[in-house]
Structure formats: C-alpha cells, structure tokens
Amino acid sequence: MKRILFNIIFWSLSLCAIGQTFDAILLNQQTDIKIIGTRLIKNHVITVQINNRTGEKYTEIDIPYSKLTQVSKVQASITHMAGEVIKKLKTSEIKDRSAISNISLYEDNMIKEFTLKHNVYPYVLSYSYEEYESQFLYIDYWSPVLSRKIPTLKATLTLIFPLNYKIKYTTTGKITEKKDTIENNLVYTWSTDYGGISESEIYSPDADTYYPKVKIVPYNFYFEEKGCFDLYIIYITNYGETRITYSR
C-alpha cells in the first residue's frame, strides 16, 4: 500500500513539474482497430491534461466523418487531477458542420465538434468515439501528436485482423512493436511517446518529420471493386480528405 501511495504521489508531482513547462500534455492516446470481413472498426480514447488558459485550445475537439466513415458513441468528461469527474459532455453540445466550407449547402466531408473546458487548472479532458467503415482504402495513418510543442506521454495503437488477411505498413520515429496471435487473429501493437520540441531551428526539417507514425494499408482491398496495393503508399489526411502518392 505504501508503494502504491508513493507511486501516485510521484506521478502527480511529475505531472505538475511537466505542467510548468507545457500548456497541455497528451497523457494517453489509445486506438483499437478491428478488421471484420470488409468492415473496419476503430475505437479512440484520448486523455489530455490542460495546464493553463493557453492550453484551452486543445479542448476544442474536431472529429471528421463522411458517408464512408461513420462516427458514433462520442463521449467526453473533465476530471480533477485526483480523478473526480466534474463535468460531462451533453449530446446537445456536439455540433455538425462541413469540413470544407461554411457556405456550401452540402458537403460529403463533415466534422463533429465540441468544446469542453473548466476554469481551474490543471484538469484532465478525456474523450472517446468510434469510427465505422464498410469499405476502405487504408487502415490507419496514426500519429499521436497534438502539436510540435505538446508532449505525448503514452500512445498505443492495436490492430486485430484475421490470420489470412494481409497488410502493409511502415513506421517512423521511435516505435515499439509487438505481434501476437489470439485464436484465429493476428494482433499488432505499436507503442510510442513524444517529448515535444520547444523551439525550431533554422533550416531544420519540418517538425512533422520527427513525429512517430504508423501507416497501414490492406494488401488487397475492396472499394466499389477489388484492388491490390503493390506499391509503397503515403497517405496525407486532412479532415477526412485522403490523397495518395505512389512510388516504387
């Protein structure tokens, strides 16, 4: 019991020390993906510590979706550092808007947005949601970084898919990878963290170059018709829009 109490106190003091340096901290990001037949199901859980008023911009949450990518089960809450829940997101506080413009009457790419914040710092914002796709060209483009200046303490990506299903993937940055077999499924787990970069240097590469990333595509896919990826693919996503670059 004394050891547990010591660990809690040490962890709290460590977060307070980090909080004096950063406006916010991505405490944990967990992404769990399952491939079932032609269906892709993703569950996201994100936990962010807000340390001051400047860090409140990270309480403004945007979740992209479209006809092809459906989003559901959006939940969010705010807790004290001790873990007590002090505020929960109401369904009426979630708004839908176009991801492209504010003047178009109809767009395929949309965003669910909400803001949930508190007036006593620091506090912790946790939110979660589920994505569902019945047809897909890529599995995930995962980079658990809020901002160049904001550290990520822990991030985990888990992918579960049938043994006879083939994937292609690449990793960038410091990534720990594990592979396991459970019944008739393969389970890949990628874990990482990110320390944050306080200042950029002249002529240095873009900060995005340093971010940990995992890019995953199916070797064979069905998207209105069957296809196969035999070439290396780079995905760049922006509010649901996907651009694909092929190279040998």
For residue 128, tell me if it sits in a domain: yes
For residue 13, tell me if it sits in a domain: no
For residue 130, tell me if it sits in a domain: yes
For 183, the domain range is 21-247
Residue 240, pLDDT above cutoff 50: no
Residue 66, pLDDT above cutoff 70: yes
For residue 228, tell me if it sits in a domain: yes
pLDDT (mean) for 60-83 = 95
For residue 15, tell me if it sits in a domain: no
**Which pLDDT value is given to residue 243?**
45
pLDDT (mean) for 59-68 = 95
pLDDT (mean) for 133-148 = 91
Q: In terms of pLDDT, which residue wins out, 3 or 18?
A: 18
For residue 104, tell me if it sits in a domain: yes
Indicate the range of 46-55, 58-67, 142-151, 204-213 predicted with least confidence: 204-213
**Which pLDDT value is given to residue 32?**
98
**Which pLDDT value is given to residue 81?**
87
Q: In terms of pLDDT, which residue wins out, 237 or 220?
A: 220
Number of domains in the chain: 1
For residue 115, tell me if it sits in a domain: yes
Residue 44, pLDDT above cutoff 70: yes
For residue 10, tell me if it sits in a domain: no
**From the CA atom positions of the chain, what is the Rg in Å?**
19
Give pLDDT tens digits for 171-210.
999 999 999 999 999 999 999 999 986 555 555 556 667 7
CATH code, domain with 107:
2.60.40.3140
**Which pLDDT value is given to residue 100?**
75
Give pLDDT tens digits for 206-233.
666 778 999 998 987 666 666 666 654 4
Residue 28, pLDDT above cutoff 80: yes
Residue 19, pLDDT above cutoff 70: no
143 phi, psi to nearest 5 deg: -145, 95
CA distance 9 to 15: 10
pLDDT (mean) for 34-44 = 95
**Which pLDDT value is given to residue 245?**
46
Query: Is residue 37 very low, low, confident or very high in pLDDT (cuts 50, 70, 90)?
Result: confident
**Which pLDDT value is given to residue 204?**
56
Residue 50, pLDDT above cutoff 80: yes
Residue 107, pLDDT above cutoff 70: no
3 state SS for the chain: CHHHHHHHHHHHHHHHHHHCCCCEEEEEEEEEEEEECCEEEEEEEEEEEECCCHHHHHHEEEEEECCCCEEEEEEEEEECCCCCEEEECCHHHCEEEECCCCCCCCCCCEEEEEECCCCCCCEEEEEEEEEEECCCCCCEEECCCCECCECEEEEEEEEEEECCCCEEEEEECCCEEEEEEECCEEEEEEEEEECCCCCCCCCCCCHHHHCCEEEEEECEEEECEEEECCCEEEEEEECCEEEEEEEC
Give pLDDT tens digits for 78-90.
999 888 999 999 9
